A = this chain, B = another copy of it.
């Protein structure tokens, strides 16, 4: 045999053994005797979000060639499919968490309740997204129609994923929620933690580099540009030096605020309603309503 004589040197068998030992050590360190249950699948979640988006906007994001007569069947079948698959993914998360905590649970049953309450909020999501699209159309001189906004703007991709992920985060599926957020992050460069609370008519223009933290609260009619950070100033540690997880540490942005590109706003501060925060501003204290904050000028 003359094919691939070099292959003899790759030593697959030895590699397989080493990698097995490393996996076992890793499980042992984490005090797990067994393989953990399976995690949800990013690929599945990506399809589920695409299906939900198609069900919410069938004429724009659904299959080509839908007729008036056929659109409701498309919506119904697509929802049914998406919700069934979401159910499976949620059950995976619930099982995973329960196993980590050594709890028993009826993952299918609990996931079913989650899906039902999630589904019931889909019309509300559509209403909110209509306000977001309108805000983008009105806020960008380059936008020619709301339809262009829906199919082109990365800010819409990000907020669509967020509004769906946020409901799941609230419902007790933070891992699935986070995975959905990261799908949008990868595609748009906009990183919104699913825990963030965001009001209607929200618009992010350009968007690359935007970061919005887990406990941020954003009012209605807020507009952000690229590279804006709504972050934490510091991370509190407990008496053992471990990070305290989950406490309120990100800004509150009230209604009708505009934050220009590159602004960095850190900590549990309040940006008063109607304020404008200039580009590249670094802000770590609250500002009252209708403030106009701008950066010191560069030297020339």
Q: A residues touching B (Cβ–Cβ < 8 Å)?
A: 1, 3-4, 6-13, 15-16, 18-20, 22-23, 26, 30, 34-42, 55-56, 58-60, 63-81, 83-84, 87, 96, 100, 108-109, 111-113, 115-116, 119-120, 122-123, 126-127, 130, 138-148, 151-154, 174-175, 178-179, 182, 185-189, 191, 193, 195, 206, 208-209, 211, 213-214, 226-227, 229, 231-232, 235, 242-247, 249, 261-262, 264, 266, 279-283, 285, 287, 291, 293-300
Contacts and interface: CB of A to CB of B under 8 A. Distances in A.
Nearest to A242: B138
Nearest to A18: B123
B243 A138 contact: yes
Given A12-B73, A72-B20, A123-B15, A130 B26 contact: yes
B70 A12 contact: yes
Contact of A152 (B58, B112, B178): B178
A211 B211 contact: no
Contact of A12 (B79, B264, B297): B79
Given A96-B147, A182-B154, A189-B208, A68 B35 contact: yes
Contact of A122 (B15, B41, B70, B122): B15
27 contacts: A1-B35, A3-B35, A6-B109, A7-B68, A7-B84, A8-B69, A10-B80, A15-B79, A15-B120, A16-B73, A18-B123, A19-B123, A20-B72, A22-B123, A30-B146, A35-B68, A63-B81, A69-B80, A141-B235, A142-B178, A144-B245, A191-B206, A280-B298, A282-B295, A285-B300, A295-B298, A296-B298
Contact of A41 (B64, B68, B187, B283): B64
B211 A206 contact: yes
Given A208-B209, A295-B299, 5 more contacts: A7-B68, A10-B80, A72-B73, A76-B76, A141-B243
Tally of this chain's copies? 6
| Residue among A65, A108, A245, A296 having the largest count of chain B Cβ atoms under 10 Å | A65
A96 B147 CA distance: 10
Nearest to A14: B120
B191 A226 contact: yes
Given A7-B112, A42-B151, A76 B35 contact: no
Nearest to A37: B3
Contacts of A120: 11, 15
A154 B6 CA distance: 35
